Amino acid sequence: MSRTDRLFCLLQALRNLPNPVTAARLAEETGVSTRSIYRDVETLRGVGAVIDGTAGFGYVLTEDAALPPLSFGNDEIEALVLGLREVAQIGDPDLVAAAKTALSKLQARLPEGQAQRLKHAVLSAKRFAEIPQPTVDVSTLRRACWDEFEVAFAYSDATGTKTHRTVKPLGITFMDRSNCLLAFCTLRHDFRAFRLDRMQDLHVNQQSFRPQRVPLLRDAKAHFLAY
């Protein structure tokens, strides 16, 4: 394996393995000695990679604009294009705009041949059924999920019955034909999916449920998959 190939393998291992990752684990993953890992980490730092940590503790890679452009396989490019085009079809307005700019940024950073493949990708996404537009600020809802703050809102179910809910927001997912908030509802004491087009008067409480979001989201997905 050439030195360049080894450095790219090391970068990929730093991206993929749980942080912090020890030199011994990196050596096992890349098939070199720990002494080579120490030298290669310093080489990567010298060309602009931001790598925190030291020998004996472990390393954490922080992606940096000074790093060289990423290289993707052809199938990876098609997957990226398909995913971003699907977001442009089903996402809220902020995510639709973000998906379009992300495609532009990818095209600008890829090598010329791969940039052309991205531009003329053979996969696309098109939904002919109209996606109901959300009636709350979805960007605020996403921040509440990440920040792990409870939210309150008025909700109308399929029959038009209105209730007021306070929930622990876990994530937003596209279910069948609409975008839904997955949450733990304090009124029902159970997991619920709330359509974003049936929510009104969203308010973010200062009641934190950190660090429960990740395990709750895992349980919520298992709950919905059981149906």
Residue 48: DSSP 8-state: T
For residue 224, pLDDT beyond 90: no
Cβ–Cβ under 8 Å, residues 223 and 191: yes
Cα distance between residue 89 and residue 104, in whole Å: 17
Write the pLDDT tens digit of every residue in 127-167. Answer: 777 888 899 999 999 999 999 999 999 999 989 999 999 99
Per-residue pLDDT, 12: 83
DSSP 69-133: PP---HHHHHHHHHHHHHHHHHS-HHHHHHHHHHHHHHHHHS-HHHHHHHHT-S------SPPPP
Overall residue count recorded for the chain in this entry: 227
Full-model pTM:
0.61
From residue 62, give the alpha-carbon distance in Å to each of 83, 145, 202.
Answer: 24, 23, 35
Q: Nearest CA to 52 among 42, 60, 44? A: 60
Q: Measured between alpha carbons, how far is 191 from 172 in angstroms, rounded to an integer?
A: 13
- Measured CA to CA, the distance from residue 41 to residue 11 in angstroms comes to 9
Give the tens place of pLDDT for each residue, 86-104: 888 888 888 888 888 888 8
Render pLDDT for 9-42 as a digit per residue (tens, 0 to 9). Answer: 888 888 888 888 899 999 998 889 999 999 999 8
